[in-house]
Each structure stands twice: as C-alpha cells, then as structure tokens.
Chain A
Amino acid sequence: MTARIGVVTFPGSLDDRDTRRAIRIAGAEPVALWHKDKDLKQVDAVVLCGGFSYGDYLRAGAIARFSPVMEPLIEQAKAGLPVLGICNGFQILTEAHLLPGGMLGNDHLHFICRDQKLRVENAETAWTGDYRQGQEISIPLKNMDGRYVADARTVDALEAEGRVVFRYLDVNPNGSLNDIAGITNEAGNVVGLMPHPEHAVEPLIGTGRTDGLPFFTSILKKLVNA
C-alpha cells in the first residue's frame, strides 16, 4: 500500500509537474488536483506548489486562497491533514491563516534564484521526519516575495515552540525575520517554506544533490506507518 498525495494546480502554478514527479520518485502516488475541485479526492496529504497563482495579483497567494479547492483543504488541514506549501504554496498558507505571519517582497527588490543552504531546525513535523535535527541541506530558492514577516509576539512564539522548521544559512536572501525559511503550525501537520525541495530529488538536476527528497519520503513513511 502506498500513500496518495495531492498536488493542486492553480492558474499560474509552475511546479505542479515537478512536485508530482518528486512524489513518484519517493514512492508515493501523486494525484493531480485542480483549483476548482470541490473535494480533495480522498488524498492522504496535499502539496501546494510553487508558481505565481493568479499572477500574484493583489498579494502573492491572496486570490488562490479563495479557490474552491481551498475550502475542503482548510477544513481538513485544521483536522490534521498533512499539507506542505512550497514558495507560492507557503504564501497561500499564510494568506489562508493556516500558518501565522505573512510574506512580502524581498528586501532587495530583486527576483532571486540560487542554491540555498538551510538548517533543519525541526525534524519532527509530518514533512521532515527523515531529516536530522540540525542537518544542513542545500536546495534551490527562486522567488520575488520571500520575506517572512510577523509581529514580535508571533515570532517569539514560533521560536519558543520550535515551530521554525528551516532557517537560511550563510546569507539571508530576502530579509526574512530571524532568517526564517519555513515554519509549521502547532500540530506539525502544516509546513510552509520558500525554497524548493521538489527541484532537488535527483542527482542529475538542481543542486546535484537529493537534499529535497526526504520531504517526500518523510510524509510517505508517516502515512504508511500510520
């Protein structure tokens, strides 16, 4: 038995195919979901992938957050469905208030595309179990609106509760508070990050490493062993 992991395609999504491919390489079954779907086709987990849903109009993720598919997703995420938001997916999760804080334009006002070093700060979420706490990884980062902001109380709570899941190493590429690259909700089932693990699952492409693959093997193990 394997796990079925949905990948939502919004108008303007870019990384849905790569994400489905990464899921397949990890050994799970990818399920394509459409932004107009009113149900989640009984998937065991969902990935909101990168791209520019609705052209990033209004704010990144602000319009996608009100898509029909988001209604069951928000409801089920609150009940424990594992959800991973990558880049635009992270922005959608903050707009949907499934994750605290918000995303704004990079402080240097440029689009950025580079291999980014990260430290895994929390290896206990649904999506990070195959990493070691403190492990350093390198995966691609590519975005315009990657600056994580939240009020001081929220940031303090995230730090105190171990809910900062990934932190930027060497350079802070966008002005994110506390070098935050990814966070989780209280239950640990919803995770969002700006860098792209789905682009680093095969030695041939991306960073030349497979540092992103454990995201997908983590969730598979968690679902199959559940």
Chain B
Amino acid sequence: MARVVVDVMLKPEILDPQGQAVQRALPRLGFEGISDVRQGKRFELEVDGPVDEAALARIHDLAESFLANTVIEDFVVKVEEPAEVAEAAK
C-alpha cells in the first residue's frame, strides 16, 4: 500500500488569522526569530494498488475538486516513499 500526501494551503495573498495568532504566541513561549506562520491542512491518502500516473491523476482531480477549494487555496500532491512510511511507523 502506498501513501499519497496532499498539502492544502491558503493562497499567499489571503490573510491567515490563525497562522498570525500562532506566530504572535511564539515570542511569549520563548521562540524568537519566526517572522511569519501560515497554517494549512495535510491529507494522507492510503492508496490501494500501484500509485501510477493514472492514480495520481485521479488524486489530483480529487484534490482540485474536493480537498482544496482552488478559489482560495493551493494544493500539492506528493507520493510518500515506502521507506519514509516504514520509518514513520516505527
């Protein structure tokens, strides 16, 4: 089984008050030097069968039509290598 990750972020020009609230809390917690924080969503899709071009195209459609609203958000589809998955499961 392979894992495909879809990261969804607000478009850069759109105000992200949640990210700002996180960023403003940082100095209070002793974390200096972080000038900006933007918050997004990460979807981990466990895919049955091979993650070939056709499967990735379908996932791209799914991300574009459902996981992200491309009016306000951008998204990136990434295949997670089996080694990474095994490492993460340890």
B-binding residues in A (CB < 8 A)? 58-59, 62, 66, 94-95, 97, 100-102, 104-109, 149-151, 175
Residues of B within 8 Å of A58, CB to CB, are 66-67
When the two chains form their complex, are residues A104 and B67 in contact, meaning their CB atoms are under 8 A apart? Answer: no
Q: Which of B10, B13, B71 has the most CB of A within 10 A?
A: B71
B: number of interface residues (CB 8 Å): 12
Interface segment among B14-22, B27-35, B49-57, B74-82: the answer is B14-22
B21 and A104 within 8 A (CB): no
Chain B min CB distance to A11 (Å): 17
A-B contact pairs, 8 of them (CB 8 A): A62-B66, A66-B66, A95-B69, A100-B71, A102-B71, A102-B72, A104-B10, A108-B17
Known: A59-B69, A106-B17. 16 other contacts (CB 8 A): A58-B66, A62-B66, A62-B69, A66-B66, A97-B71, A101-B71, A102-B69, A102-B72, A104-B14, A105-B18, A108-B17, A109-B17, A109-B18, A109-B21, A149-B72, A151-B13
A62: which B residues are within 8 A, CB to CB?
A: 66, 69
Instruction: Return the chain B residue nearest A59 by Cβ.
Output: B69
Query: What's the minimum C-beta distance from B25 to chain A, rounded to whole angstroms?
Result: 12
Q: Are B17 and A105 in contact (CB under 8 A)?
A: yes
B15 contacts A175, C-beta separation under 8 Å: yes
Distance in angstroms between the alpha carbons of A97 and B71 in the assembled complex: 9
A107 touches B71 (CB 8 A): no
A97 to B15, CA, bound (A): 21
Set of chain A residues within 8 Å of B13, measured between Cβ atoms? 151
Asked whether, in the complex, the Cβ of A107 is within 8 Å of the Cβ of B17, the reply is yes
Measured between beta carbons, the chain A residues less than 8 angstroms from B72 are 102, 104, 149
Q: Report A51 CB to chain B, min CB distance, Å.
A: 19
